[in-house]
Structure 1
Amino acid sequence: MPHTKDDLPDALYSAAQVRGLDASLIAAGTPGFELMQRAARATWRALVRQWPSANELSVLAGQGNNAGDGYLAAVLARRAGWTVRVLAVGDPQRLQGDAGLAHAEAVSEKVSIEAWSAQSELRGVVLDALLGTGLSGDVREPYASAIAAINASGLPVAAVDIPSGLSADTGRILAHAVRADLTVTFIGLKVGLFTGDAADVVGELVFNDLHADPQLLGGAPISARRLNAGNLPRLAWRPPASHKGKFGHVLLIGGDRGFGGAILLSAQSALRSGAGMVSVATRSEHVPAALARIPEAMVVGASSASQLMGLLQKVSVLVVGPGLGQAAWGRSLLSAAANAPLPQVWDADALNMLAEEQVSLPGDCVITPHPGEAARLLGISTAQVQADRPAAAHALSKKYTAVVVLKGAGSLIASPDGRLAVCHQGHPAMAAAGLGDVLAGLVGALIAQGMEAFDAACLAVWLHANAGEQQGKFGRGLAASDLIPAIRQLLEEQAPCLK
């Protein structure tokens, strides 16, 4: 999990967009070499802050501008009295432009520069300046071996701009990637630093805009926005004379035989997240357990869709799918829901039946697939979804004209209008059953309280992830129900009930 500081900007860019920003800065009068020097100084400062007692640096430099940043950082380390070596992967004499100037400065400062080989010894802090954001295909030799050597060294590792081998656009490891303890990135934050495999390789993330003109950055197109406590959509405060009828009635449909717990988790989450009223339609066998666990909910034992019809006219939001199963009972209830003109949240088996085209998704829906469900919905493999999570989220949102929550490390929220939000919080202890059921109920409750679907999904994902991060500090064994009181507390901190 990256220990990302939350004083970072919200805007996230593609690699091409950042290159455009870089070009704009140069066109506006800042020489490219000056930007490279600023990047090197930012890297050096971050490195010294992270490892204040270190005095030795091994720089692995490649063949692009990333290498130029590394050579200049080596110059700064040598001037500070550190023992410094640059291990060059490829011939440094072939470096051109600003990177060539950086190499020449390192030579003039008498920095030790050697050709890297598999026998090269790494010492001190390792600075990864091998491959930058322009990488698209899989990492090849000799870079693959150099990356393996860094990862096997057991030494502290800092990466310049992005860990070599991590896609700046998708967050996918391109066959091999440096596992950094610290990544220092520049000008604009890249989407790939916050989703997919990024959590395993980025480490602590430090950002420096290289003194870019804020007006220039502010007018540039972005790819996504990063969710944080300062930019979340907020529920309105409640007037003192409020009553339950003002905050929605959520009906949760699911819980076939053997799967009763899923719908109860969703219902409990909806109740504790502020829905005015909560009803559950489930198998009759689960009614006693539901009433014992959630006496505040109205529970209907439904043996067929016909028993839902009266209830569907009384509620304001549906949550469909947790524990629903794909047998005749679940199909019947899902069909009834699909024909109801209500805002809806579809999860789990509702999505699996949607993928099989057994039913059509109504309008005004939020769908919450994990990567496997997303793959079925798109007719591709899970690996293909994970290879480009932002593209998969956009494709789902366009295909179904729905707000999409693509779950996983670096959850993504996509809107049919093209908006994309990224939530990079969370904890590996959240790799447990039932957490998706809690999220579905939370989204439903926020919509019931008047939030627009995209805003509700963004707030729900952030609350869910941060509750998991909070509870994950206690270690393994996190139960989905552990998140519910933590979500309630975080929601009150974000949007107090009283003005």
Structure 2
Amino acid sequence: MSREANLPETYCRPLYRADQVRELDKRTIAAGIEGFALMQRAAAAAWQSLKARWPEIRSLSVLCGGGNNGGDGHVLAALAAAEGLAVQRILLKPLEELSGDARHAADMATAAGVGAEPWRSDIRLVGALVVDALLGTGLGGEVRGEAREAIEAINASGLPILSIDIPSGLHADTGAVLGVAVKATRTVTFIGDKLGLHTGAAPARVGEVDFRALGVDADAETDLVPAARLLDAGMIAAWLPPRARSAHKGDFGHALVLGGAPGFGGAALLAAEACARLGAGKVSLATAPEHVTASLVRRPEVMVHGMRGAGDLGELPEQADVLVVGPGLGQGSWGQGMLQAALATDKPLVVDADALNLLATRFTGQRRENWVLTPHPGEAARLLDLSAGEIESDRPAAALALQQRYGGVVVLKGAGSLVAGPEGLAVCPYGNPGMASGGMGDALSGILGALLAQGLLLETAVRLGVLVHALAADIAAEQGGERGLLAGDLAFCARTLVNPTMGVDDAAATR
């Protein structure tokens, strides 16, 4: 049932750190393209992106910083003026202090008849759209002074905003806000897509991300290993081909969910149902006896077992192909016994919720290669003995640190969920704020358990599971809105995702 180890990179756009993109830029220039010519390409791409998104716009306010990012803004201003738009050009650095390509770009805008005015705290943005060309990917410290004032004014304007390369104030590697950051409507980014545009605070700041390679083939630079890969919906069909018509339930594995301590039955029921809906051949649920009736009523297809404690498990863990431990587990003696029983097996594990908290407190020092840990930032902080703020300040580093310490594959949940494993880092660009409700992590655990039960290799299963979970939430939000989105809404939407059909009458096309 296993698949090949390597993931289909066709469906995973490479993401880079800022220093890697700067190196790509240098190599492109060294190959024979002048720096200013590359700047003109970037500005032209940004201008085309602007026109495609806002074809009716007839006036702009372009705010230019002192570096190459500002140079892109100057050239865009010249292009807009040449097409008859009214352009307000606002300078964070006086023209006479500019140098190199940035000065050349500023002179080009001036020659095109674009006026220039210095930044003032009381300045009025008169354009119908704002172009943010203030700060680029080289920013490392907190934004201060006039740049901070300008960003706050942009955000307060109520106007649509195009950010060039990255919203000013956003860290290009981590997605953290460096004091203050522009909240763009669209971000057009160049040469190599940046990791920091897709996780942490970035999803709330970048708007639509429009990647333009500018003719640079980053994949050809084989010594520059991408910092991460961006997951894509195309992975689902690539890794879940149609089932054989002769298939039976034994072909698709047996998943065991351990959870639902006395008084906490709902989480385990959600995980078990998601596991069944995603195609596991058999699903068993080991839960406190008082939850058995609720499970039979909610989902009779799940084989539920009432457990007074881990001693009642018997041979059940050995009969399963994968164990999901944590949903509704609690941190008392019942939950501790269940986790201990799971750790005693050599079966693949999906570890979530209170099982993670117990790993951080009662079962310290554990490491194995056949498990997946799925912490949110608070749980990740406990596992690494850090604060949640430290986790969020550099989510990629935290995900990698968790994987290095605990082994296996780690999912750091949140906006732009990260998957860290032996193949590297992956980022999920899907999902929505409606997922900020109880039980979402339990649904993810069940999805992961189902995919592992069906024979997918660990890292492949985890990347696919995170992808399906987020996309299912997006479908559910489209159907009924983000507010009031429940974890129980995801199972059916996720089932639809893993069963694309090519024709209504073609049963063999289902997956």
The TM tier, using the shorter chain, reads over 0.9
Q: What does 1:146-161 correspond to in 2, within 5 Å?
A: 146-161=150-165
Q: Contact between 1:410 and 1:424, CA under 8 Å: does it hold in 2?
A: yes
1:336 to 341, 352, 357: 341
* Secondary structure, counterpart of 2:498 in structure 1: helix
Q: Distance in 1 between matches of 2:436 and 2:451?
A: 24
Q: Note if 1:387 corresponds to 2:393.
A: yes
1:481 to 488, 502, 511: 488
Q: Note if 1:202 corresponds to 2:206.
A: yes
Which residue in 2 is equivalent to 1:4? none
Q: Contact between 1:266 and 1:442, CA under 8 Å: does it hold in 2?
A: yes
TM-score normalized by the length of structure 2 = 0.93
Q: Contact between 1:338 and 1:361, CA under 8 Å: does it hold in 2?
A: no
1:236 positional shift = 4.2
Which residue in 2 is equivalent to 1:100? 103
* Secondary structure, counterpart of 1:87 in structure 2: strand
Q: What does 1:394-413 correspond to in 2, within 5 Å?
A: 394-413=400-419
2:131 to 127, 134, 141: 127
Q: What does 1:37-116 correspond to in 2, within 5 Å?
A: 37-116=40-119
Cα RMSD between the aligned structures?
1.8
1:218 positional shift = 6.1
1:93 positional shift = 2.0
Single out whichever of 359-368 and 182-191 deviates more from structure 2: 359-368
Q: Distance in 2 between matches of 1:356 and 1:425?
A: 32
1:388 positional shift = 0.7
Q: Distance in 1 between matches of 2:30 and 2:461?
A: 41
Q: Distance in 2 between matches of 1:96 and 1:221?
A: 33
* Secondary structure, counterpart of 2:211 in structure 1: strand
1:217 positional shift = 5.0
Q: Note if 1:216 corresponds to 2:255.
A: no
Amino acid at match of 2:334: W
* Secondary structure, counterpart of 1:369 in structure 2: coil
Q: Note if 1:456 corresponds to 2:461.
A: yes
Which residue in 1 is equivalent to 2:325? 320
Q: What does 1:234-253 correspond to in 2, within 5 Å?
A: 234-253=239-258
Q: What does 1:345-360 correspond to in 2, within 5 Å?
A: 345-358=350-363, 360=366
Single out whichever of 211-220 and 250-259 deviates more from structure 2: 211-220
Q: Distance in 1 between matches of 2:216 and 2:321?
A: 48
Q: Distance in 1 between matches of 2:400 and 2:412?
A: 10
CA pair 494-182 structure 1, distance change in 2 beyond 3 A: farther
Q: Contact between 1:321 and 1:351, CA under 8 Å: does it hold in 2?
A: yes
Aligned residue pairs, count: 492
Q: Distance in 2 between matches of 1:207 and 1:166?
A: 17
Q: Distance in 1 between matches of 2:217 and 2:387?
A: 42
Amino acid at match of 2:282: M
* Secondary structure, counterpart of 2:257 in structure 1: strand
Q: Distance in 1 between matches of 2:144 and 2:404?
A: 35
Q: Note if 1:492 corresponds to 2:495.
A: no
1:428 to 433, 437, 453: 433
Q: Distance in 1 between matches of 2:95 and 2:307?
A: 72
Q: Distance in 1 between matches of 2:97 and 2:12?
A: 36
Which residues of structure 1 form unaligned runs of 5+?
1-6
Q: Deviations over 1:382-414 (max 9, x none)?
A: 111111111010000000012001111000100
CA pair 223-365 structure 1, distance change in 2 beyond 3 A: same
* Secondary structure, counterpart of 2:145 in structure 1: coil
Which residue in 1 is equivalent to 2:305? 300
Aligned-pair identity in percent equals: 50
1:366 positional shift = 0.5
Q: Distance in 2 between matches of 1:182 and 1:332?
A: 50
Q: Contact between 2:230 and 2:426, CA under 8 Å: does it hold in 1?
A: yes
Q: Contact between 1:234 and 1:494, CA under 8 Å: does it hold in 2?
A: no
* Secondary structure, counterpart of 1:252 in structure 2: strand
Q: What does 1:148-297 correspond to in 2, within 5 Å?
A: 148-213=152-217, 216-217=220-221, 220-232=224-236, 234-297=239-302
* Secondary structure, counterpart of 1:322 in structure 2: coil
* Secondary structure, counterpart of 1:25 in structure 2: helix
Which residue in 2 is equivalent to 1:414? 420
Q: Contact between 1:57 and 1:127, CA under 8 Å: does it hold in 2?
A: yes
CA pair 87-225 structure 1, distance change in 2 beyond 3 A: same
1:94 positional shift = 2.0
1:157 positional shift = 1.0
Q: Deviations over 1:181-200 (max 9, x none)?
A: 11111001001111111111
Runs of 4+ in 1 over 4 A off after TM superposition: 494-499
* Secondary structure, counterpart of 1:275 in structure 2: coil
1:378 positional shift = 0.6
Q: Distance in 2 between matches of 1:82 and 1:176?
A: 30
Q: Contact between 1:225 and 1:421, CA under 8 Å: does it hold in 2?
A: yes
1:472 positional shift = 1.0
* Secondary structure, counterpart of 1:455 in structure 2: helix
* Secondary structure, counterpart of 1:290 in structure 2: helix
* Secondary structure, counterpart of 1:493 in structure 2: coil
Q: Contact between 2:11 and 2:235, CA under 8 Å: does it hold in 1?
A: no
Q: Contact between 2:367 and 2:405, CA under 8 Å: does it hold in 1?
A: no
Which residue in 1 is equivalent to 2:5? none
Which residues of structure 2 form unaligned runs of 5+?
1-9, 503-507
Q: Contact between 1:9 and 1:189, CA under 8 Å: does it hold in 2?
A: no
Q: Distance in 1 between matches of 2:392 and 2:470?
A: 19
